[in-house]
Amino acid sequence: MTPDQRPRLTVLGLDGLPLSLAREWCRRGLTPNLARIALSGSARSMRAELPELSPVNWTSFATAAGPEEHGVFGFTRIDPRSYDVAIVDSTAVRCPTLFQRLGARGLTSKVINLPNTYPAQPLKGMLVAGFVAPELSRAVYPPFLSGPLTQAGYKLEADTARGKDDPELLLAQLNTTLDSRRAALDLLWPDLAWDLFVFVLTETDRLFHFHYPALSNPDHPLAPACEGFIRRWDMLIGDFLDRFEALPGPKRLLALADHGFTELITEVDLNAWLVQQGLTRLTGTHEHENDARAVASDSQALALDPGRIYLHTRERFARGGVTPTQAPGLLARIREGLLNLRFEGRPVIREVHQRQTLYPGPMAPVAPDLVAEPHPGFSLTAKFDARELFGFHGRRGVHTVGDVFFYDSEGAAPQRLRDTGRLVLDFFGIPKQD
């Protein structure tokens, strides 16, 4: 087989893109390049893994496995001894990635801006890590990539902390990160010395969180500015699709989101709810909203973003007191209470999943005891600074479990993110378990 005949798989990641909104944009003529795939018969929706967060779902794609195998259950994890809450990164992944498994077969991967790959781990190929990635030098593999990317002005992430209240600043920074993704694409693609190419655009997620109404309503005051950015985003999609079409065969294209999105109805703080129920007591021992040291020893449960609930058991937590005989009753009480929770007469929680059924795998012992799945429009948070149960804290868009964008040039119909990773393994003839 000559180099031009090697089978190639390309993956276009469109972070947070709902299929319904994508098709609306395409029919309006806003995104003519996206329309090349979104309006085809091979585009369809799928469901996100739970919780419906980027690190959970992109890791499920990148490992062809669910959280019960890869061990990533959210943006954060809690130390059961110190109660410190830390950001999850690539070192938390507990099973091999697609890139490691391809590399073991002598196949080369090139990966740009894939979330939860920082710090960059060695692979056969090249990697530019995505969110959360605080510094470029540890976000790339091989390390020499930091040189040309720095020269190109590569920006890892927009400053949403400042940009959330300043639409002009946010859009300017998103344009800079979009230019950075293009620079990385120009650097890693041209030699075609790869078998798998993964290119993820996360800018839509950032924009949706703070300005989703402007992107779903053309009459919104911010719509012209936001749509101007989407047109530039669409041009980069067109560039990627053109590159794919120019590839010699055999080849295949997957395009996928990690979750859907919709307009926010309200945020719902589950720790505030647990406090109201008398199941959590928070002290003043904390430095910030995510400092779980505020959890008192007599608390019976605690929550982590976005809907993860842990019983405060003796077996798991240093200060926990819940016994095995108390646990079933507490779980039933919490589940029933959450399913009965209402906001302005509307039910908040669609379902409350138990660990044993949601995560039947080797990482189940460290999984949350319950995972609350909200109805679309409700954002489940879990802070440790005694917030109100309902409220707005700067965001106007929220993830959804359903309506997740997916396209396959060969017409596959995966049910959720782990299945998209399995499509990659299948393409290269690699069984799920080597």
User: How much is the pLDDT for 164?
Assistant: 85
Residues 420, 414 contacting (CB under 8 angstroms): yes
User: How much is the pLDDT for 204?
Assistant: 97
Whether the ω angle into residue 119 lies within 30 degrees of 0, i.e. cis, is yes
Rounded to whole angstroms, the Cα distance separating 9 from 109 reads: 10
Class of the domain covering 3-262+397-427? alpha beta
Whether the ω angle into residue 51 lies within 30 degrees of 0, i.e. cis, is yes
Residue 120 pLDDT greater than 70, yes or no? yes
User: How much is the pLDDT for 427?
Assistant: 98
Q: Does the predicted TM-score (pTM) go above 0.95?
A: yes
Percent of the chain topping pLDDT 70: 99
Tell me the Ramachandran region of residue 403: left when phi exceeds 0, alpha when psi lies from -120 to 50, beta otherwise. left
Tell me the Ramachandran region of residue 141: left when phi exceeds 0, alpha when psi lies from -120 to 50, beta otherwise. beta
Summarize pLDDT for 64-89 with one digit per residue, the tens.
999 999 999 999 999 999 999 999 99
Record the tokens describing residue 375, joined without a space: 């109805």
Summarize pLDDT for 368-385 with one digit per residue, the tens.
999 999 999 999 999 998
Record the tokens describing residue 95, joined without a space: 């099973």
Residues 190, 2 contacting (CB under 8 angstroms): no
Pinpoint the residues of the chain covered by CATH 3.40.720.10: 3-262+397-427
Question: If pLDDT is split at 50, 70 and 90, which confidence band does 433 have?
Answer: confident
Summarize pLDDT for 349-361 with one digit per residue, the tens.
999 999 999 999 9
Rounded to whole angstroms, the Cα distance separating 50 from 68 reads: 11
Residue 186 CA, distance from chain mean position:
25
User: How much is the pLDDT for 411?
Assistant: 98
Rounded to whole angstroms, the Cα distance separating 8 from 109 reads: 10
Partners of residue 354 on adjacent β-strands: 370
Rounded to whole angstroms, the Cα distance separating 259 from 74 reads: 13
User: How much is the pLDDT for 285?
Assistant: 77
Rounded to whole angstroms, the Cα distance separating 30 from 28 reads: 6
Average pLDDT, the chain: 96
Question: If pLDDT is split at 50, 70 and 90, which confidence band does 270 have?
Answer: very high
Average pLDDT score over residue span 28-55: 98
Summarize pLDDT for 89-113 with one digit per residue, the tens.
999 999 999 999 999 999 999 999 9
Residues 11, 417 contacting (CB under 8 angstroms): no
Summarize pLDDT for 141-188 with one digit per residue, the tens.
999 999 999 999 999 999 998 988 899 999 999 999 999 999 999 999
Q: Catalogue the E-assigned strands of 283-341.
A: 301-304, 308-311
Task: Output phi, psi for 363, to 5 deg.
Answer: -95, 5
Question: If pLDDT is split at 50, 70 and 90, which confidence band does 2 have?
Answer: low
Partners of residue 141 on adjacent β-strands: 127
CATH fold of the domain at 266-391:
Gyrase A; domain 2 (3.30.1360)
User: How much is the pLDDT for 5?
Assistant: 80
Summarize pLDDT for 221-245 with one digit per residue, the tens.
999 999 999 999 999 999 999 999 9
User: How much is the pLDDT for 3?
Assistant: 52
User: How much is the pLDDT for 185?
Assistant: 98
Rounded to whole angstroms, the Cα distance separating 163 from 254 reads: 31
Rounded to whole angstroms, the Cα distance separating 405 from 18 reads: 5
Residue 1 pLDDT greater than 50, yes or no? no
Which of 38-42, 106-110, 391-395, 424-428 is the least confident region? Answer: 391-395
Residues 367, 73 contacting (CB under 8 angstroms): yes
Helices (H) and strands (E) in the chain, counts: 14, 21
Pinpoint the residues of the chain covered by CATH 3.30.1360: 266-391
Rounded to whole angstroms, the Cα distance separating 199 from 183 reads: 12
Summarize pLDDT for 250-263 with one digit per residue, the tens.
999 999 999 999 99
